Structure 1
Amino acid sequence: MAAVLLSERALSRATTITIAEERIYDVAAREALLDRAMGEGRTRKSSEKLRRNRLPAEGLALVARHADGEVAGTVRLWNIQAGVGKDGKGVPALLLGPLAVDPRAEGQGIGSALMREAVRRAGEAGHGAILLVGDAPYYARFGFSAEKTEHLVMPGPFERNRFLALELVPGWLDGATGLLTATGSLAKHG
């Protein structure tokens, strides 16, 4: 777990949040938070096609909790193949999403704290790149840009200017071209 000091604006609720790996008892709170933050159409996005019936990458499903234990934010990363490289082999990467903060806690730095922690953990785990579909000005502060996604495509409709990548290993996505595909472990149902 990581305790994170938030901005001064956050001091009205609590001075710290705790970021930890998501646990089974977080599922209901996470889903309710995602519904509040993203609305009903959240499961129809192209990114969802890569997440459906898959487990998040090991150690990369995170929640942020207030001091009282309430889930205030969530982020998950998923194993994917980012097309193929110059050598004709698949390029392993991560897909980030969704990142969401409870609307009642917006502006407190929780989303930024989750992003920094997710990127740090992904790098420490040896992953080479993270891709996402999101607001370019927001994600630019973490090093994401559309430069490395120019020759990659999502499965289904997506906005090219919102398709971003961050290389954790310089040059990881050089020459990558083609369709993103899911490679993560399948979820067990039943």
Structure 2
Amino acid sequence: MTDLKLNLRRELPEDGHAVEKLHERAFGPGRFARTAFRLREGVPPVARLSYTALVGTLIVGSVRLTEVRVTTGDKVLMLGPLTVDPAFHDRGIGAALMRLSLDAAREDGYRLVILVGDEPYYSRFGFKVVPPGKLKLPGPVDDRRFLFCPLVPDAMETTEGMVLPAA
């Protein structure tokens, strides 16, 4: 993992500003135009499934899970953003946050997590490219970057359709 004294905990309401600043440093202003951001816009992340990583009092990492829905009626989680301060990259912080959030989602009874990201990074957590025709996002996305992680064995068998913001 890491030799840092790292504290992983649920994101608190008072962390919001620091987490947004972390997203700004990591992704810049272009993040607002991305399809994944647009799906999460105006929908708060699921508090019990969103975590921060701290070194001392400094938030150096964050992962959020937000509920979205599929036209078949299934509730699905959208992961993102997963963010680690560039000064703390390659120390296992992102991996620790990923494992914590996916385990919490599984324990909470969710069946499926989706994201837009790099398969080489996320495949180690069980993510795969969404099969053609199963799910569609309401905006431009490179299909090779549209990934899913089943939290139960048959999660993708009945889940299909357009992914929409949670009502």
TM-score bracket for the superposition, by shorter chain length: over 0.9
- Report what 1:77 is aligned to: 65
- Per the TM alignment, residue 40 of structure 1 is displaced from its structure 2 partner at its CA by 1.5
5 Å-filtered alignment, 1:48-59, equals 48-59=37-48
Amino acid in structure 1 at the alignment position of 2:95:
S
Whole-angstrom distance in 1 between the partners of 2:148 and 2:92: 22
Helix, strand or coil at the partner of 1:33: helix
5 Å-filtered alignment, 1:169-180, equals 169-180=152-163
- Per the TM alignment, residue 57 of structure 1 is displaced from its structure 2 partner at its CA by 1.8
Rate the CA distance shift 1:83–1:136 in 2: closer, same or farther, 3 A.
farther
Give the aligned length: 167
Maintained 8 Å contact 2:39/2:68: yes
Q: Does residue 6 of structure 2 align to residue 17 of structure 1? A: yes
- Report what 1:28 is aligned to: 17
Q: Which structure 1 residue ranges, 4+ long, deviate > 3 Å from structure 2?
A: 147-150
TM, length-normalised to structure 2: 0.94
Question: Which structure's CA Rg is the greater one?
Answer: 1
Helix, strand or coil at the partner of 2:20: helix
Alignment root-mean-square deviation, CA? 1.5
Q: Which moved more, 1:20-29 or 1:129-138?
A: 20-29
Whole-angstrom distance in 2 between the partners of 1:175 and 1:138: 26
Q: Does residue 33 of structure 2 align to residue 44 of structure 1? A: yes
Maintained 8 Å contact 1:149/1:164: no
Q: Which of 52, 75, 90 is equivalent to 1:63?
A: 52
Q: Does residue 110 of structure 2 align to residue 110 of structure 1? A: no
Helix, strand or coil at the partner of 1:76: strand
Work out the percentage of aligned pairs sharing the same amino acid. Answer: 36
> Unpaired runs of 5+ in structure 2?
none
Maintained 8 Å contact 1:128/1:167: yes
Maintained 8 Å contact 2:53/2:62: yes
- Per the TM alignment, residue 29 of structure 1 is displaced from its structure 2 partner at its CA by 1.0
TM, length-normalised to structure 1: 0.83
Maintained 8 Å contact 1:93/1:130: yes
Rate the CA distance shift 1:149–1:64 in 2: closer, same or farther, 3 A.
farther
Q: Does residue 149 of structure 2 align to residue 166 of structure 1? A: yes
Helix, strand or coil at the partner of 1:75: strand
Whole-angstrom distance in 1 between the partners of 2:8 and 2:131: 29
Helix, strand or coil at the partner of 2:141: coil
